[in-house]
């Protein structure tokens, strides 16, 4: 297409909520067989609120939250933001925190009063053979809540459940992709039960959960096998390698800089439904060219 056509289609794309960074992958959008969605911040708003505090015996609710609050002030993960919001709402005084370390895809750890405080995923609990009340955990996870565990020198202090909200437009985009015969996949670092709850609510065909950040791009590679064209849509730093691996990488507009810089197309209104506009516009421009 000549420059006039390009600028015209660019302004149409802008009206449809799309910022096109790489035109060639965008123009192949209509060929996509599979769309892989990140969960937190993509299909959901990524805005967690604390719903349940489940302290171990001899620990108060306030102490459980205060420990988590203190170390999570060091992180900007959506879970951290939810816990910090709750700590502030309850006007808790955070402990001094030293030697903060991020355990990518598993949680974080830091020193408080000479003791090691960790806030970690159910997966990290299992791989370290630390036991917890599985019944209470199941009950929370089955409601779609994300649960994290608070440890002091590897002794469980309790669990904290958080809930996120599924975006209204996620229901529509999944339905329309399914209707068009495009396979929908959800890939998340969150627990399998939570992932199943969200995936089933949305009608997603394939759910891949408990994925560590470095595994995301390998999963996309696997999904490309057999010549399948794969689009990946995400918002996080941990999604960037998978966005690069996909035939078409799409970032949520409010996502992290790394995700946006890696993506071929940015959804400027952060509305996952706008990926349908990629399919439709690229099809229309393909028809014009042939």
Candidate list 17, 25, 189, 249; residue touching ligand ADP; CB under 6 A: 189
Q: Which of residues 220-249 bind ligand ADP (CB under 6 A)?
A: 236, 238
Three-class SS of residue 18? strand
Other Cβ atoms closer than 10 A to 181: 7
Contact window for Mg ion (CB under 5 A) among 32-40, 133-141, 155-163, 275-283: 32-40
SS3 content of the chain, % helix, strand, coil (to 5): 45, 25, 30
Are the C-beta atoms of 41 and 48 separated by less than 8 Å? no
Could you tell me the smallest distance in angstroms from the CB atom of residue 240 to Mg ion? 11
The yes or no reply on residue 105 touching ligand ADP (CB under 6 A) is yes
Which does residue 282 bind out of ligand ADP, Mg ion, none, counting CB within 5 to 8 angstroms by kind?
none
Would you give the distance in Å from CA 15 to the centre of its chain? 26
Give me the long-range contacts of 107-112 (CB less than 8 A, separation at least 24).
107/148, 108/71, 108/72, 108/74, 108/75, 108/77, 108/80, 109/71, 110/70, 110/71, 110/74, 112/67, 112/70, 112/71
Give the span between the Cα atoms of 67 and 109, in whole angstroms.
11
Residues 6+ apart with CB under 8 A from 100: 71, 74, 75, 108, 109, 110
Residues 6+ apart with CB under 8 A from 58: none
Q: Which of residues 108-127 bind ligand ADP (CB under 6 A)?
A: 108, 119, 121
Contact window for ligand ADP (CB under 6 A) among 37-45, 162-170, 171-179, 260-268: 37-45
Which does residue 217 bind out of ligand ADP, Mg ion, none, counting CB within 5 to 8 angstroms by kind?
none
Three-class SS of residue 63? helix
Candidate list 34, 106, 193, 229; residue touching ligand ADP; CB under 6 A: 106
The yes or no reply on residue 219 touching ligand ADP (CB under 6 A) is no
Nearer to ligand ADP, 125 or 231 (CB): 125
Q: Which of residues 86-105 bind Mg ion (CB under 5 A)?
A: none
The yes or no reply on residue 77 touching ligand ADP (CB under 6 A) is yes
The yes or no reply on residue 256 touching ligand ADP (CB under 6 A) is no
Nearer to ligand ADP, 213 or 253 (CB): 213
Interface residues with Mg ion (CB under 5 A)? 38, 40-41, 235-236
Interface residues with ligand ADP (CB under 6 A)? 38-40, 72, 75, 77, 79-80, 105-108, 119, 121, 146, 148, 188-190, 213, 236, 238
């Amino acid at each position: 297409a000549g420059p006039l056509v390009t600028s015209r289609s660019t302004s149409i794309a802008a009206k449809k909520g799309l910022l096109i960074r790489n035109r060639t992958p965008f123009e192949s959008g209509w060929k996509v067989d599979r769309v892989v969605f990140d969960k937190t911040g993509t299909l959901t708003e990524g805005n967690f609120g604390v719903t349940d505090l489940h302290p171990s015996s001899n620990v108060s609710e306030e102490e459980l939250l205060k420990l988590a609050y203190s170390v999570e002030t060091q992180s900007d993960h959506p879970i951290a933001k939810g816990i910090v919001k709750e700590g502030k709402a309850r006007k808790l005084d955070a402990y001094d925190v030293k030697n903060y370390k991020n355990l990518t895809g598993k949680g974080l750890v830091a020193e408080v009063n000479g003791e090691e405080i960790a806030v970690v995923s159910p997966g990290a609990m299992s791989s370290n053979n630390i036991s917890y009340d599985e019944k209470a955990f199941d009950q929370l996870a089955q409601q779609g809540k994300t649960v994290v565990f608070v440890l002091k020198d590897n002794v469980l202090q309790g669990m904290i459940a958080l809930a996120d909200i599924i975006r209204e437009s996620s229901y529509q985009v999944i339905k329309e992709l399914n209707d068009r015969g495009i396979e929908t996949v959800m890939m998340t670092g969150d627990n399998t039960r939570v992932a199943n709850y969200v995936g089933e609510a949305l009608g997603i065909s394939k759910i891949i959960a408990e994925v560590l950040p470095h595994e995301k791009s390998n999963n996309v590679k696997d999904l490309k096998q057999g010549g399948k064209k794969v689009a990946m849509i995400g918002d996080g730093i941990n999604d960037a390698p998978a966005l690069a691996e996909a035939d078409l990488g799409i970032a949520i507009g409010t996502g992290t800089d790394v995700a946006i810089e890696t993506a071929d197309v940015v959804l400027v209104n952060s509305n996952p439904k706008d990926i349908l506009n990629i399919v439709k516009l690229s099809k229309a421009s393909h028809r014009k060219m042939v």
